[in-house]
């Protein structure tokens, strides 16, 4: 028996500051080097988290090695990516691959199946919404390929039971194929970085501060939050509620549109777009309310991080994600999706009845500490990766 370390290839589109990229970084940093040799595979060698990748991790990037083909046709770049990944797997003698997000699963699935290499995949958002709403071109083909990729994976992980059930129905695959592995939170890091000085746009004194953290895309529901904030601000202008600012942390395709909505709603001067921030905890700690206005969600890290920071939570009642967690554990307030009026009423309630909202923050912190331990997640995922390498291969 060889005592060689397990060589695991961790695959992502980039190292942007989203929850999936952050959790991939946790693995790169936390995998026991006496057991594993992690290697990073990216499509784009970019993102605010790249600087945090450990120096002992070798990197590969598709678009660093390849140029856009002069003559392109449907499926050509995908085939190039699969071939490139296969070459990396063979060159590095990879024992097992790990991917998050369906864009990478579309590549790792055929590459590992062709080579007979074990694979662990993670689904972070309900595909009924994530795939169906975000992929307009070749959706049927992608759904077919993803179904095959998940069916042939050695392990398919999901961030919650609701996401597992949604994936099972959407791909017509057995529910027992999907295993729930709750997302981790680096509580020590959150605590440490929440105490440093915030170097971004400083929260204005003598105002309440509302924050929303997430990618600026349709499913995150920011437009309803801005509309709700405008309704709340109208009351503040009448001296009926405390004045407040809205902080939006994250970036994405809707940034200009959301800025335009804020201007049209008359709240541009009190709505601050901070862009992508690798460590938002110093700002989060200073805020009075986190709002997650999503239309659908897997399990938002921002929810768990706010609970760790003892910040009250307001979220939409999604089938999965924040809705799923807060229905089972009443640690925050839920309102209907896509409903600016209900959001505005809940924001008003937060500042008119603060005792009720603040009464839940210690229990929320305890929940995160008990259920989302970083080390427990890394240990469990490490065991899953090793178990995948020991499964008998077919063919």
Tens of pLDDT along 123-156? 999 998 888 776 677 889 999 999 999 999 999 9
Residues 207 and 293 in one domain: yes
Residues 219 and 267 in one domain: yes
In a domain, 10, yes or no: yes
In a domain, 18, yes or no: yes
Higher pLDDT, 24 or 48: 24
In a domain, 1, yes or no: no
Radius of gyration of the chain (CA): 22
Helices 321-328 and 301-308, axial angle in degrees (round to 10): 40
Residues 12 and 156 in one domain: yes
The answer to whether 208 and 351 have CB atoms below 8 angstroms apart is yes
Between CA 212 and CA 250 the distance in angstroms is 9
Structural domain count, the chain: 2
For residue 184, which of 380, 384, 17 has the smallest C-alpha distance?
380
Residues 20 and 72 in one domain: yes
Largest CA distance in the chain: 75
Between CA 44 and CA 64 the distance in angstroms is 7
For residue range 82-129, list pLDDT tens digits in order: 999 999 999 999 999 999 989 999 999 999 999 999 999 999 999 988
Rounded average pLDDT over 66-72: 93
Residues 223 and 364 in one domain: yes
Does the global pTM surpass 0.95? Answer: no
Q: Where are the beta strands (DSSP E) in 73-123?
A: 96-100, 119-123
In a domain, 60, yes or no: yes
Tokens of 131: 């795939």
Between CA 195 and CA 206 the distance in angstroms is 20
Between CA 262 and CA 272 the distance in angstroms is 10
Q: How confident is the model at residue 395 (pLDDT cuts 50, 70, 90)?
A: very low
Residues 244 and 363 in one domain: yes
Between CA 184 and CA 371 the distance in angstroms is 8
Residues 105 and 180 in one domain: yes
Neighbours of 295 (CB within 10 A): 15
Which pLDDT score is estimated for 240? 92
In a domain, 284, yes or no: yes
- Please tell me the least confidently modeled range out of 2-6, 38-42, 366-370: 2-6
Residues 195 and 344 in one domain: yes
Q: Reply yes or no on whether the pLDDT at 58 is more than 90.
A: yes
In a domain, 382, yes or no: yes
Residues 224 and 341 in one domain: yes
Tokens of 120: 């662990």
Q: Which CATH number belongs to the domain containing residue 262 in this structure?
A: 3.40.50.2000
Q: How confident is the model at residue 241 (pLDDT cuts 50, 70, 90)?
A: very high
Residues 116 and 263 in one domain: no
Range of the domain at 321: 188-371
Rounded average pLDDT over 341-352: 98
In a domain, 29, yes or no: yes
Higher pLDDT, 394 or 61: 61
Tokens of 266: 């008359």
In a domain, 86, yes or no: yes
Which pLDDT score is estimated for 144? 95
Nearest 5 degrees, angle CA 386-CA 392-CA 395? 130
Residues 203 and 139 in one domain: no
Rounded average pLDDT over 173-194: 95
Q: How confident is the model at residue 256 (pLDDT cuts 50, 70, 90)?
A: very high
Q: Reply yes or no on whether the pLDDT at 393 is more than 60.
A: no
Query: In 3-state terms, what secondary structure has residue 360?
Result: coil
Residues 321 and 345 in one domain: yes
């Amino acid at each position: 028996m060889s005592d060689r370390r397990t060589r695991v290839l961790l695959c992502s589109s980039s190292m942007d500051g989203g929850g999936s990229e952050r959790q991939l970084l946790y693995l790169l940093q936390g995998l026991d080097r006496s057991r594993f040799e992690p290697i990073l595979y990216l499509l784009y060698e970019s993102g605010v988290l790249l600087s945090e990748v450990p120096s002992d991790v070798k990197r590969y990037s598709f678009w660093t090695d390849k140029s856009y083909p002069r003559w392109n046709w449907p499926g050509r770049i995908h085939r190039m990516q699969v071939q490139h990944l296969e070459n990396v797997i063979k060159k590095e003698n990879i024992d097992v691959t790990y991917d998050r997000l369906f864009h990478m699963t579309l590549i790792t699935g055929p590459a590992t199946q062709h080579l007979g290499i074990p694979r662990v995949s993670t689904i972070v958002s309900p595909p009924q919404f994530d795939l169906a709403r975000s992929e307009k071109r070749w959706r049927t083909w992608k759904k077919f390929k993803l179904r095959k990729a998940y069916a042939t994976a050695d392990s398919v992980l999901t961030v919650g039971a609701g996401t597992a059930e949604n994936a099972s129905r959407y791909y017509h695959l057995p529910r027992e194929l999907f295993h729930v592995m709750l997302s981790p939170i680096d509580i020590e890091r959150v605590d440490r970085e929440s105490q440093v000085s915030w170097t971004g746009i400083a929260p204005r004194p003598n105002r309440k501060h509302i924050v929303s953290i997430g990618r600026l895309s349709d499913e995150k529901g920011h437009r309803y939050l801005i509309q709700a904030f405008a309704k709340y601000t109208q009351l503040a202008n009448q001296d009926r509620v405390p004045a407040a600012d809205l902080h939006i942390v994250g970036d994405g395709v809707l940034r200009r549109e959301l800025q335009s909505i804020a201007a049209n709603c008359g709240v541009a001067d009190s709505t601050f777009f901070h862009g992508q921030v690798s460590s938002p905890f110093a700002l989060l700690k200073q805020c009075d309310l986190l709002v997650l206005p999503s239309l659908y969600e897997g399990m938002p890290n921002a929810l768990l991080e706010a609970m760790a920071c003892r910040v009250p939570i307001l979220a939409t009642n999604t089938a999965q994600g924040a809705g799923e967690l807060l229905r089972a554990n009443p640690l925050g307030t839920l309102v209907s999706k896509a409903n600016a009026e209900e959001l505005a009423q809940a924001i008003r309630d937060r500042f008119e009845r603060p005792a009720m909202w603040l009464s839940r923050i210690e229990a929320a912190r305890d929940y995160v500490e008990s259920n989302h331990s970083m080390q427990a997640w890394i240990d469990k995922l490490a065991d899953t990766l090793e178990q995948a390498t020991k499964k008998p291969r077919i063919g």
